[in-house]
Chain A
Amino acid sequence: MSNLTIRPIIGMETHVQLATRTKMFCGCPVEFGAEPNSRVCPVCLGLPGALPVINRRAVDLAIRMGLALNCRIATFSKWDRKSYYYPDLPKNYQISQYDLPIAAEGHFELPPRDAGEPRRVRIRRAHLEEDAGKNLHEGLDHTRVDLNRAGTPLLEIVTEPDLASADEAFAFASELQRLAVWLGVSEGVMQKGQMRFEPNVNVAITFGGVEYRTPIAEIKNLNSFRAIRNAIAYEIDRQVGEWRRDHDYTLEKCGKLNLGWDDDRGVTEFQRSKEEAHDYRYFPDPDLVPVTISAEQIDAIRSEIGELPLARQERLRMQLALTDVDAATLTADRATSDLLAAAIAVGGDPKTLCKQFISFWSAQANARSTTIAGLGVSAPRLAELANLTRDGTISATAAATVAQKMLDVPAAPREIAAAAGLLQVRDEAATREWVEQAVAANPQAVRDAKENPRKRQAAAGFLRGQVMKISGGKANPKLVGELIERRLAEP
């Protein structure tokens, strides 16, 4: 086929579980993995006569996220009932916000890829609502319902269809998660379903001067970034394939679809269609009075936000001449990024600190399934270790060993290094002694270095390595180099 161009059109709906202690409209604790139906009360069970009361913290967190997404915060916001009948929804309606969401008309800027332009993703709206409970039917001849999750506060964030590829949707989802966690708006743990994504995907196909648009598919409930990328890529291919077979495969003729993603088989599947919006019979909830938000309240929340992760990533990259990847690693979470800043502020060498954060500190954190901040090492101790390394008091290899010990022993890094015999020896006499031992043990290398100019460099390097080994890593590499050169210059 000639002259066929394909342009994916992707929007994203994201459910963000807010980091509150209690539910949206009742004081039940929000707790993952608790005994079934143990974190419930008359409100979240939907018992007759129970009345919901709004969680102030959920409102504040929603405003915080809205501001970080450059949204207009509603001065007047109200609550609506979205009616549908399903066993995990005990009231037979979900309390949500229909026409007056708490935040609207924002945008989020994705960093440029491969020296391109930054991409602006418009945010249509963000509204508060309550989560449903959980149905279980796997391997059962009946359905079981756990209502612990029912009533958990969610912020639903809806973008305009501004994402142009599966990779861009992946980038948006992961940046949104980093932002929510950074701001303390959500714990953002994907495995616990604290961020759930529903991309809307269709394709504009231009062929023979005519533009066709394939049906819009909503892929439900994705909870990993990989699934987002794979499901969208699959869906784009599927829709283009359908259209190639039948040019009537269009939005006009086929409408919208609800799909599920089968991660094991790597395919999307059709789902029973849900009620259309008019069938949700939205109407104002008479049990809840509206919320008004003052300019002072918005200013107060805005003042807590501080520097956002992408801005800090860019600042670190520029100031410390880091690669994009390293700058992203150092701003993966706010506490770690703040810890780095604190270690620099108490006089730690920035370059060495970055290097050590990216290498052994993040390895230690990964091994313990935590963040670098979660390791609990203070900024002054991190700074001291970095400076010992920069000064050559300990070698880079020894620094990793000291770091490991610092997690168990509260002593200062220098004391730990000393106790482990890892302080480098600048003592010239001792070093010369090690050099003599290396020379005596390796006559061939000495001959190569002296007589064969082509082998000189390699032989000298080999001898330096031997000296470091004989010294047990304590020799100062710079001094060793100097002494070996001097020794080889002797007749």
Chain B
Amino acid sequence: MPAPIDEATVRHIAHLARLKLSDDEVHRYTQQLVAILEYVQQLNRLNVDGVEPTAHALPIVNVLRPDEPREPLGAEKALANAPQKAAGFFALPKVLDQEGA
């Protein structure tokens, strides 16, 4: 049984997604998320003893493609919907560097 969703959890998740929520929104989303989880938790009533855990909802495996290049979009199209751009790059407010991967 996962820990119930409370306002602190919602604030934490919002921070991870870099979302700024008002107190009112935090309150509202907490109620909504609690309701969603309760609904999904109906599944816990099923007896799954002896059922193999699945990694995917579809009964298929091995959808792969050959390593053959396809025409990319190109910079102009790629940037067409960008709210801001500079010198062929997506431009955004300055962030502190922190490597991903």
Residues of A at under 8 Å CB distance from B?
15, 20-22, 26-29, 35-42, 45, 53-59, 76, 78, 83-89, 92, 94, 100, 129, 131-132, 135-137, 140-147, 154, 196, 220-221, 271-272, 274-275, 279, 281, 284, 286, 288-292
For the complex formed, measure the closest distance between the CB of A289 and the CB atoms of chain B, giving whole angstroms: 5
Given contacts A20-B67, A22-B68, A131-B101, contact A42 B73 (CB under 8 A): yes
* Bound Cα distance from A143 to B95, whole angstroms: 6
Structural contact, A145 and B90, CB atoms closer than 8 A: yes
For the complex formed, measure the closest distance between the CB of A446 and the CB atoms of chain B, giving whole angstroms: 74
The interface residues of chain B lying within 8 Å CB-to-CB of A136 are 89
Which residue of the partner chain, among A41, A45, A196, contacts B70 with CB atoms under 8 Å?
Answer: A41
Structural contact, A57 and B67, CB atoms closer than 8 A: yes
Interface residues of B in 69-83 (CB under 8 A from A): 69-70, 72-75, 78-79
Which residue of the partner chain, among A26, A86, A87, A142, contacts B86 with CB atoms under 8 Å?
Answer: A142
B interface secondary structure, majority: loop
Structural contact, B98 and A289, CB atoms closer than 8 A: no
Structural contact, A279 and B66, CB atoms closer than 8 A: no
Structural contact, B61 and A291, CB atoms closer than 8 A: yes
Of listed B17, B18, B62, B89, residue having the most chain A CB within 10 A: B89
Structural contact, A45 and B78, CB atoms closer than 8 A: yes
For the complex formed, measure the closest distance between the CB of A17 and the CB atoms of chain B, giving whole angstroms: 11
Answer whether residue B20 sits at the interface, using C-beta atoms and an 8 A cutoff: no
* Bound Cα distance from A53 to B68, whole angstroms: 12
Given contacts A22-B67, A56-B64, A291-B62, contact A37 B89 (CB under 8 A): yes
Structural contact, A27 and B70, CB atoms closer than 8 A: yes
For the complex formed, measure the closest distance between the CB of B9 and the CB atoms of chain A, giving whole angstroms: 12
For the complex formed, measure the closest distance between the CB of A16 and the CB atoms of chain B, giving whole angstroms: 12
Structural contact, B65 and A84, CB atoms closer than 8 A: no
The interface residues of chain A lying within 8 Å CB-to-CB of B18 are 85
Residues of B at under 8 Å CB distance from A?
16-18, 55-58, 60-70, 72-75, 78-79, 86-101
- 16 extra interface residue pairs, beta carbon distance < 8 Å, beyond A29-B72, A38-B88, A292-B61: A36-B88, A38-B72, A42-B73, A45-B73, A56-B65, A56-B67, A57-B67, A84-B16, A88-B100, A132-B100, A142-B86, A142-B92, A142-B93, A271-B98, A272-B98, A290-B61
The interface residues of chain A lying within 8 Å CB-to-CB of B79 are 37
Structural contact, A143 and B93, CB atoms closer than 8 A: yes
Which residue of the partner chain, among A53, A57, A100, A286, contacts B63 with CB atoms under 8 Å?
Answer: A53
Given contacts A36-B75, A42-B73, A89-B100, contact A140 B94 (CB under 8 A): yes
Given contacts A36-B75, A59-B64, A137-B94, contact A27 B69 (CB under 8 A): yes
Structural contact, A289 and B100, CB atoms closer than 8 A: no
With both beta carbons as reference points, the residue of chain B lying nearest to A18 in the complex is identified as B67
The interface residues of chain A lying within 8 Å CB-to-CB of B72 are 28-29, 38-41
Given contacts A85-B18, A274-B98, A290-B56, contact A37 B90 (CB under 8 A): yes
The interface residues of chain B lying within 8 Å CB-to-CB of A288 are 63
For the complex formed, measure the closest distance between the CB of A52 and the CB atoms of chain B, giving whole angstroms: 10
For the complex formed, measure the closest distance between the CB of A125 and the CB atoms of chain B, giving whole angstroms: 16
Given contacts A59-B64, A144-B86, contact A40 B73 (CB under 8 A): yes
* Bound Cα distance from A137 to B86, whole angstroms: 12
The interface residues of chain B lying within 8 Å CB-to-CB of A143 are 91-95
Of listed B61, B66, B88, B100, residue having the most chain A CB within 10 A: B100
Structural contact, A85 and B17, CB atoms closer than 8 A: yes
Please name the 3 residue pairs, one residue from A and one from B, whose CB atoms are nearest each other, closest first. A27-B70, A144-B89, A57-B67
With both beta carbons as reference points, the residue of chain A lying nearest to B100 in the complex is identified as A132
* Bound Cα distance from A330 to B77, whole angstroms: 48
With both beta carbons as reference points, the residue of chain A lying nearest to B66 in the complex is identified as A56
For the complex formed, measure the closest distance between the CB of A311 and the CB atoms of chain B, giving whole angstroms: 29
* Bound Cα distance from A284 to B91, whole angstroms: 31
* Bound Cα distance from A38 to B88, whole angstroms: 9
For the complex formed, measure the closest distance between the CB of B68 and the CB atoms of chain A, giving whole angstroms: 7
Structural contact, A146 and B89, CB atoms closer than 8 A: yes
The interface residues of chain B lying within 8 Å CB-to-CB of A84 are 16, 100
Structural contact, B67 and A58, CB atoms closer than 8 A: yes
Structural contact, B16 and A40, CB atoms closer than 8 A: no
* Bound Cα distance from A158 to B98, whole angstroms: 21
For the complex formed, measure the closest distance between the CB of B91 and the CB atoms of chain A, giving whole angstroms: 5
Given contacts A144-B87, A292-B61, contact A284 B66 (CB under 8 A): no
